[in-house]
Each structure stands twice: as C-alpha cells, then as structure tokens.
Structure 1
Amino acid sequence: MKNVIIIGCVFLLIGCKTKTVNGKQIGKSVEPTEMNTADEAQKNKAYELGKRVLMTCNDIKFKPFTQSEATDKVIAKSTPENIKKICVKYSLKYGLFKDLEFVEMVPNKTDNTNVFRFKALFEYTKANKEMRVTMNSENKASAISTKDWKDEFE
C-alpha cells in the first residue's frame, strides 16, 4: 500500500511539472509575482503589442509592427485588412475594447518562447475572449492570437 501511494505521488509530481501541448513541451505557468525583470519587460511589451491590435477596433488606425517588435511572419499576417475583419466581428459582438488583463505567462521549453495570456475586456460583459502573445528569445512577438477564454491553458 505504501508503494502505491509513493508511486502515485511521483506521477503527480511529474504530471504537474510539464505538459505537452500540440507537440511542444510547456512548463508550469508563472504567476506575476514569480516573474524576473526580463520576463516583466517582455510582459509589458506583449501587453503593448496585444493592446495595439485590439485598440484598432476602437479607432480604426493600425500602426504596423516594426522589425524590432515582431517577426516577419507576424508582420505579414497583421495587415490592416486582416485586422479590420477581426475588428468588425468583435465590435458587433462584444462592443468597444477596454483593456487587457494579464493572467499568466507560460514558458515553452521546446522553442524557448514565453506565451503571455491576457483576458480581453470589452464593453459588453458577455465578452469572454483571450489574447495570447508569444514572445521569442529575441524579445519579438512570434505569434499573436485571440481565442475564447478558458481558465486552463491549452
């Protein structure tokens, strides 16, 4: 009986440390109080970039990303036309964008990136959206996406 409990505890510890999402090894999430200064700076940059995309929905003026802010892939996909499509849908469904609320940082050990999760706050209380900004080791946004909000990282 003792061995079963010990083995169960070992599996529990292993299961809590890392998990695989879409074939990538993801570490446990980092709370805001556990972040170092480099992570804090990356979080602030991720916040500014994510907010810039959603603020476009309010004022219809999108300032394109520069080479120092985002990777070529993100710059290519964040065209004014693509952002306008998203904004039209979100404005009708959720109202005006208000702000982003930081929830957690999830380090991705496979490709040395950090995924910053923000809860997007809109005018209508029924809005339940998430903004994810993935920052690479060069402190550039390598992915920006919105999803329906889920409490657990997937």
Structure 2
Amino acid sequence: MKKVIIICCLLLSIGCKTKNVNGKKMGKSVDATEMSTVDEAQKNKAYELGKRILMTCNDTKFKPFTQSEATDKVIAKSTPENIKKICVKYNLKYGLFKDLEFVEMIPNKTDNTNVYRFKALFEYAKANKELRVTMNTENKASTITTKDWKDEFE
C-alpha cells in the first residue's frame, strides 16, 4: 500500500510541474518571489515593452522597438497604424490605460522562452485584459499579445 501511495505522489508531482499548452511543454508558473535575477531583469524589460505599447493609447506617441528590444516579427507587426487600431478600440471599450500588474512567468521548455503575464489595468472597472510578453533567450520580445483575462494560463 505504501508503494502505491509513493508512486501516486511521484506521478502527481511530475504532472504538476509541466503541462502542454497548444502542443508546447510549459513549466510550472513562477511568481515574483521565486524569480532569479536574470528572470527579474527580463520581467522588467517585458513590463517596459508592454507598457510602452499600451501607453501609446493615452498619448498617441509610439517609440518603435529596436533590434535589441524585439525580434523582426514583433517590429514588423508593431507599426503605428496597427497600434492605433488597437488603441481606438481599447479607448472606447476600456477607457485610458493605467498600468500593468505582473501576475506570473511561465517558462516554455519547448523553445526556451519565458511568457510573462500581466493584468492590464484600465480606467473602466469592467476592463479585464491580459498582456502577454514572450521573451526569448536573447532577451528580446518574440511576441506581444493581449487577451481577455483568465485566472488560469491557457
């Protein structure tokens, strides 16, 4: 009986450490107290890049990303026209952007990236948006996306 319990505990602990999301192997989420100094620096960079995009909705001044901040794909998609379209929609629906609140970091073991989840705070209380910034091993933003907020990472 003891062996069965030990085996179940081992399987449970292995199952809790990683999960597959859209075919990618994701590690256990990490909150701010468990992060290393490298992860903390990367989190701060992700915060600054994400905030820069959403602050554009308030003041309409967008400073384009550089090669050292983001990948070519992110730079190509973050044109002033694309950001303006998003901002018009967000300003009408959620009001002015206030700040980002760090929630968790999820390491992606498949491609060695870290997904930083932030809760976007807007003027209207009904605003419930999430900003995800994926940082690669070169410390560059490889994706920046917004989604409707869900407590569980999907």
Moved beyond 3 Å, runs of 4+: 1-7
Mapped partners of 1:102, 1:137: distance in 2: 20
User: What is the CA deviation profile of residues 39-81 of structure 1, one whole-angstrom value per residue up to 9, with x for unaligned ones?
Assistant: 1110110000000000011011111101010000000011111
Mapped partners of 1:104, 1:142: distance in 2: 17
Identity of aligned residues (%): 86
SS in 1 for 2:26: strand
SS in 2 for 1:134: strand
Q: Which one-letter code corresponds to 1:18 in the other structure?
A: T
Report how far residue 109 of structure 1 moved.
1.0
What does 1:1-150 correspond to in 2, within 5 Å? 1-150=1-150
Report how far residue 37 of structure 1 moved.
1.0
Mapped partners of 1:8, 1:150: distance in 2: 30
Q: Which one-letter code corresponds to 2:21 in the other structure?
A: V
User: What is the CA deviation profile of residues 70-107 of structure 1, one whole-angstrom value per residue up to 9, with x for unaligned ones?
Assistant: 00000001111111111111100000000000011111
Q: Which one-letter code corresponds to 1:37 in the other structure?
A: T
Q: Greater shift after overlay, 7-16 or 33-42?
A: 7-16
2:153 is matched with: 153
Q: Which runs of 5+ in 2 are unaligned?
A: none
- CA RMSD of the aligned region, Å? 1.1
Mapped partners of 1:139, 1:19: distance in 2: 24
Report how far residue 3 of structure 1 moved.
4.7
Q: Which one-letter code corresponds to 1:26 in the other structure?
A: M
Q: Which runs of 5+ in 1 are unaligned?
A: none
Q: Which one-letter code corresponds to 1:9 in the other structure?
A: C
TM-score by length of 2: 0.96
Mapped partners of 2:36, 2:15: distance in 1: 25
Mapped partners of 2:11, 2:137: distance in 1: 31
TM-score by length of 1: 0.96
Q: Which one-letter code corresponds to 1:85 in the other structure?
A: K
Mapped partners of 1:39, 1:17: distance in 2: 18
How many equivalent pairs are there?
154
